[in-house]
Structure 1
Amino acid sequence: MSFLKFIIKNPFRRKNSAILAIVGICIGIVVIVALGGITNGLVSTFEDTVHAGGSDFSICGKDTGDSAYGTNTIDANWTEIIGNVSGVAEVMPIYVILTPIGDDYMKTLIGIEPNGTSMADISLSSGRMFNNNSSEVIVGKVYAQDNNLSVGDNLTVDGEDFEIVGIYETGDTNMAKAVFTSITKVAEINDDNNSISNIYVKVASGQDPQKVADRIDEKYGDNITTISSIMEMEQMADMLNMLKASSWGISLLAIVVGALGIINTMLMSVFERTREIGVLKAVGWSNRKILTMIVGESLVITILSAVIGSVIGFVVTTLLGPMMNVTPSFTPEIFVQAFVIAIIVGIIGGLYPAVKAVKLPPTEALRYE
């Protein structure tokens, strides 16, 4: 039997101890993989939501007001002013009001140019886009399902019949139950052609959105303010960093617990094989070879644990993630991290027992019963 096969088979001579060690380490690996997948999924979902359609941030009124967002409306001329700021590539005004829609006394109606809906984080799942200045609307998929609406149906908006020409999907839960129509139509309903609620802003390629937002604040901060994905991203980044820190904390705990478990297992192995180690020394095995054997056996257990734990973590998270409204995202880095931790645990856990085995005097070991 080769030395490598000897190392691979040796840990399983004591099956119960090996299984217990594998289970203990597996639990840590499962947690590491699961947390990694969920964290990446949350990051991916958040970035998709923030950057969907390419809107980097938006502009709204400075003071508290009676608009749907709780701020005052701003003059429509701000669209052109913001569009001329250095670093801004595209601007899109929107007009949001609360008005009677269908059976709802107050419902969110959002006015936007038909070609600007991509900046509002919506995409059509059926039907077509509304025409400009027409009595046509598109409704959120959630709103359509809740009210049993479909393309071709009529929907009463502020006492006027509008045709539903499309149903949209969105990554923004605030818009999932809203209704979109032409901005000119919303201005007509609200009897105000000179005001808007917000301006979506897309910065030019290579520009830093934060710097562009700061530039706008510096020039026009007395009249308008940026309420943007930048602010949201900073808040969410803090939350995600906390989650990642927790993940690394759990990883560290897994290393400590796993190392203690494998140390105990390998120490028992050395204790039970004291005479065997003495025989190996007596027949000429070097201390280095015995040390390699013990550490190798420890690595066999932890690497096997990493394989099993990674598979279980992947399967469990994939199945349970959607139930938590999270789509897990697994990258090679997650599994590399799991295996690196397993290897570290294997080396740490096997090194101390290996040193103990090396220090055993052959004559004492041979007399051990």
Structure 2
Amino acid sequence: MSFLKFILKNPFRRRTSAILAIVGIAIGIVVIVALGGITDGLVNTFEDTIHAGGADFSISGKETGDSAYGTNTIDANWTEKIANVSGVEEAYPIYVVLTSVGDDYMNTLIGIDPEGANLADISMKEGRLFKDNESEAILGEIYVDDNDYKVGDTIKIDGEEFEIVGIYETGDQNMAGGVFTSISKVGELMDDEDSISNIYVKVKKGEDPQAVADRIDEKYGDDIATITSVMEMQQMGDMLNMLQASTWAISLLAIVVGGLGIINTMLMSVFERTREIGVLKAVGWSDRKILTMIVGESLVITIVSAIIGSVIGFLACTLLGPQMGISPLFTPKIFIQAFGIAIIVGIIGGLYPAIKAVKLPPTEALRYE
């Protein structure tokens, strides 16, 4: 039998001891994988929540002007520039004007690309969203209540007939009484298709909105300004940092618990074989060969334990998590961490008692009970 086959088979000669060792180590791996999946899932859910609906911040003109927001309009080509900044997921322009709407001499008309309407933090209460470059509009629920409109009616905007295709609701009181249509139609009505009022910006998941806003300021701050009041970004960022810090704390706890279990199990396993080591030394085995054998056997046990623990941790979270309202997220990093910890701590757990054992004279080792 080759030395390698001997190492692979030897740990399972004592099935009870091997099973107990595997169970002890696997429990630690289950903790690491399960908590890793749960905490990563919590972070992912939190990020989905803070990035769901509405822009993270907006871009406006640098100087005061005659736009509806009190700033000067900016050129439409700024949208592409902002979209290309590192960390930006989406960037959509809006054009906000004050014009005649229905019976109102002056009301807020907001133009936006239909694909970017979700960044305006509006949701459809009735009907559907307007189509691009069509004479269609959606009205805020407050405007509808005040003026008795319904889906299917028509409304005059700056002298042109628009079909009301939907009614929206929003938490932004400034928009609840306004009217939305496509930005191309607003540009056409205003005879100014190259100007926009603002740019709604949504950052990529995992990015800090404030950091992205600062990046834009650093690059283009002389020409445009970032407005972060769309979201209380600092507060949200602090909450996310707290959750991520909790993730590290839970992972560290899992590492300590799993590591102690592995070391304890391996110490017991190796010390039980002190007499066997004495016999091997007596028949001529070198200290180096004995060390290699013990550490190799430790690796076999820890790798098997890591596989079993990872599978159990994954299945337990996948099956039980949804029932507890938790959506675990498993990434390669979790399993690499679990296997890395199992192997490193397993080697240490086998190496330390093995060094003590090989230092014993063969006669003393043979007398060990």
- Using the size of structure 1 for normalisation, the TM-score is 0.63
Amino acid at match of 1:270: R
Deviation at 1:113, TM superposition (A): 4.3
Q: Percent identity?
A: 52
In structure 2, the CA distance between the partners of 1:203 and 1:127, relative to structure 1 (3 Å rule), is closer
Of stretches 114-123 and 317-326 in structure 1, the one that deviates more from structure 2 is 114-123
* Alpha carbons 2:138, 2:167 under 8 Å: kept: no
CA distance in 2, matches of 1:46, 1:356: 49
Offset at residue 199 of structure 1 (A): 6.6
- 1:30 shift after superposition: 1.5
Tell me which residue corresponds to 2:179.
184
Alignment of 1:1-369 (within 5 A): 1-51=1-51, 55-58=55-58, 75-78=68-71, 80=73, 90-92=92-94, 113=112, 115=114, 116-120=116-120, 128-130=128-130, 157=145, 160-162=149-151, 183-184=178-179, 201-202=200-201, 208-212=212-216, 226-228=229-231, 230-231=233-234, 234-271=237-274, 274=275, 276-367=276-367
Deviation by residue 1:2-41 (Cα, 9 ceiling, x = unmatched): 2222222222333333323222222221122123223333
Which amino acid in 2 is paired with 1:92? I
Residue pair 1:310, 1:335 contacting (<8 A) in 2 also: yes
By how many angstroms is 1:360 displaced? 2.5
Q: Which residue of 2 aligns with 1:147?
A: none
Given the superposition, is the C-alpha separation of residues 78 and 316 from structure 1 closer, same or farther in structure 2, using an over 3 Å criterion?
A: farther
Cα contact 1:59–1:228 (8 A) shared by 2: no
Deviation at 1:263?
Answer: 3.6
Q: Which residue of 2 aligns with 1:152?
A: none
- Residues 23-63 of structure 1, C-alpha deviation per residue, up to 9 Å, x if partnerless? 22222211221232233334444444555689341489xxx
Q: 1:195 — aligned with what?
A: none
Alignment partner, residue 100 of structure 2: none
Q: Tell me how far 1:138 sits from its aligned partner.
A: 10
Change (3 A) 1:347 1:79: farther
Deviation at 1:291, TM superposition (A): 1.2
Contact residue 270 and residue 353 of structure 1 kept, 8 A: no
Deviation at 1:349, TM superposition (A): 0.9
SS in structure 2 of the partner of residue 228 of structure 1: coil
Contact conserved, 1:25 with 1:305, CA < 8 A, in 2?
A: yes
Instruction: Give the whole-Å Cα distance in 1 for the aligned partners of 2:77 and 2:249.
Output: 44
Q: Quote the Cα distance in structure 1 between the aligned partners of 2:315 and 2:138.
A: 45
Q: Separation in 2 of the partners of 1:203 and 1:250?
A: 35
1: CA distance, partners of 2:244 / 2:42:
11
Q: Kindly state the Cα deviation for residue 335 of structure 1 after the two structures are TM-superposed.
A: 0.8
Per-residue CA distance 1:104-157 (angstroms, 9 max, x = gap): xxxxxxx87462413246899x98424688685799xxxxxxxxxxxxxxxx85
Give the whole-Å Cα distance in 2 for the aligned partners of 1:129 and 1:201.
18
CA distance in 2, matches of 1:248, 1:347: 21
Match in the other structure for 2:194:
none
Judged with a 3 Å threshold, the aligned counterparts in structure 2 of structure 1 residues 278 and 242 are, in CA distance, closer, same or farther, namely same
What RMSD, in angstroms, separates the aligned Cα atoms of the two structures?
4.8
How much has 1:346 moved relative to structure 2? 0.8
1:41/1:327 contact within 8 Å kept? yes
Q: Contact (CA 8 Å) 2:27, 2:258: kept in 1 or not?
A: no
Whole-angstrom distance in 2 between the partners of 1:217 and 1:325: 44
SS at match of 1:226: coil
In 1, Cα distance between equivalents of 2:120 and 2:247: 30
Contact 2:59 2:199 in 1 (8 A): yes
Note closer, same or farther for the CA distance 1:175–1:77 as it changes in structure 2 (3 Å cut).
closer
**In structure 1, what residue type is equivalent to 2:11?**
P
Contact 1:33 1:334 (8 Å CA) reproduced: yes
Counterpart code for 1:253? V
Residue 281 to residue 123, structure 1, CA distance change in 2 (3 Å): farther
Question: Aligned-pair distance for 1:309?
Answer: 0.9
Q: Return the letter of the residue paired with 1:201.
A: Y
C-alpha change, 1:315 and 1:92, in structure 2 (3 Å) is farther
Contact 2:33–2:334 under 8 Å retained in 1: yes
- The alpha carbon displacement at 1:162 in A equals 3.7
**Amino acid paired to 1:281:** K
SS for the counterpart of 2:330 is: coil
When residues 85 and 138 of structure 1 are mapped into structure 2, their CA distance, relative to the original with a 3 A threshold, is: closer
Q: Hey, what's the Cα distance between the residues in 1 that align with 2:218 and 2:177?
A: 30
Q: Distance in 2 between matches of 1:58 and 1:278?
A: 74
What is the Cα deviation at residue 357 of structure 1? 2.0
What runs of 5+ residues in structure 2 fail to find an aligned partner?
Answer: 61-66, 84-91, 98-109, 153-163, 182-196, 205-210
Letter in structure 2 aligned against 1:8: L
Residues 358 and 137 of structure 1: CA distance in aligned 2, closer, same or farther (over 3 Å): farther
Q: Secondary structure at the match of 1:327?
A: coil
C-alpha contact (below 8 Å) 2:21/2:269 kept by paired residues = no
**Partners in 2 of 1:204 and 1:357 — Cα distance?**
58
Query: For residues 204 and 334 of structure 1, what CA distance do their matches in structure 2 show?
Result: 25
Aligned to 1:8, the other structure's residue is in SS state helix
Larger CA deviation: 240-249 vs 320-329: 320-329
Aligned residues: 302
